[in-house]
Amino acid sequence: MKMKFSLLLACTALVACGANTTQEERPFQLPVPVSNNAVTLVGDTALSFSGLLSGKTWRDVTDRAFACDLKAQTCREITGLPDGVGRLASVAVTVQGAPYIFGGYTVDKDGNEASTPDVWRFDLADESYHSMAPMPVPVDDGVALVYEDRYVFLVSGWHNTGNVDLVQVLDVQDNQWFTATAFPGDPVFGHAAAIAGNVMLVCDGVKVVPPVNDQARRTFEGSPACWRGEIDPNDLSQINWRQIGSFAPAHYRMAAAAHEGKIWLAGGSDNPYNYNGLGYDGVPSKASAHVWNYDVAADTFTVAPDKPIASMDHRRMLVWNGKFVIVGGMGEGQNVLDEVQLFE
């Protein structure tokens, strides 16, 4: 399986497999460009919380939020995060019709970063935020997956000084946390994931490479691995993990979503980067338009047609009326985007 997946993906390096054949709608605009933003969907409304504005400095880390009416193709600014503190790499999901925002990290003028434990439920009707039980271990640049419209699984991610292999689960109904079987791959940040039924797919991201001696500094590199995790419906703390493939090379901050029994992965970059789009290797990172999908029942990957706009720096992809939706991100030249992409 791993070899088959790698061979399929090899064609993306040679030709744009199906490029420019994707059906699309004309993108419409956010009030301002924003990237690395937490996004989720409530009905016909795509919501965006926090992230990075176009200046791409520590001053441009924002607490602002936006609501986009996908039917009308219009966006408006809404009440920002309740503590007024900008952050990057938060994640958002919708449970029982309500958006929830998890974590993220702050950046100060000296470049110091700190993971935040905050979890909020947002009420779109009156644009109010309500505090939930904070994360036991604050993580950012992770993934959040909803099971049975009640439980939110946070898989791996960054905690202050390093990645963690934790799977932390919030029972939204009881507002209590528990832990599930740890992520078995290299702990990562900037990975992509989605869930279909009780099957989650977690792909790629960045791992920490320890220094080779006392004089060297640790480095960051892509972690090319996709893991399938099956939640035990009788014991949600148990996840059966197995590795099922790998990208070549690993991708960072792709957008992911589940749709019609498949898990879709789109965009990202094959060069891991700091929040401003500059690679850890000093080379500016390039956004991708590539799309892949994983058929959960068949246990196979397929290369899909490229999406219309190359983009990276995503936290999630949304599905609305059979279309995929990507809100903001970074495009060519590491420019922060104000576009709301809709494509099939």
Q: What is the pLDDT of residues 20-35, one digit of tens each?
A: 434 456 779 999 999 9
What is the pLDDT, as a whole number, of residue 11?
Answer: 39
What are the structural domain ranges in the chain?
2-20+29-343
Nearest 5°: CA angle at 153, between 149 and 154?
A: 140
Tokens representing 179 are: 């832990």
- Identify any residues that bridge with 209 across adjacent strands, giving them in sequence order: 219
What is the pLDDT, as a whole number, of residue 341?
Answer: 94
Residues 6 or more apart whose Cβ sits within 8 Å of residue 40 = 46, 47, 92, 93, 94, 99, 100, 316, 318
pLDDT tens figures, 292-337:
999 999 999 999 999 999 999 999 999 999 999 999 999 999 999 9
Residues 6 or more apart whose Cβ sits within 8 Å of residue 228 = 199, 200, 201, 241, 242, 243, 244, 299
Residues 6 or more apart whose Cβ sits within 8 Å of residue 45 = 67, 68, 69, 70, 124
> What distance in Å separates the CA atoms of residue 19 and residue 316, rounded to the nearest whole number?
22
- Which residue type is seen at 83? D
Fold for 2-20+29-343, please state it.
Neuraminidase (2.120.10)
Q: Is the pLDDT of residue 81 over 90?
A: yes
What is the pLDDT, as a whole number, of residue 212?
Answer: 75
Tokens representing 187 are: 């702990």
What is the pLDDT, as a whole number, of residue 121?
Answer: 98
Burial class (CB in 10 A: 0-12, 13-18, 19+), 283: exposed
DSSP symbol at 332:
G
Tokens representing 270 are: 């094959």
Instruction: List the one residue out of 327, 317, 271 whose CA is nearest residue 291.
Output: 317
Higher pLDDT, 259 or 344: 259
pLDDT tens figures, 220-261:
999 999 999 999 999 999 999 999 987 778 999 999 999 999
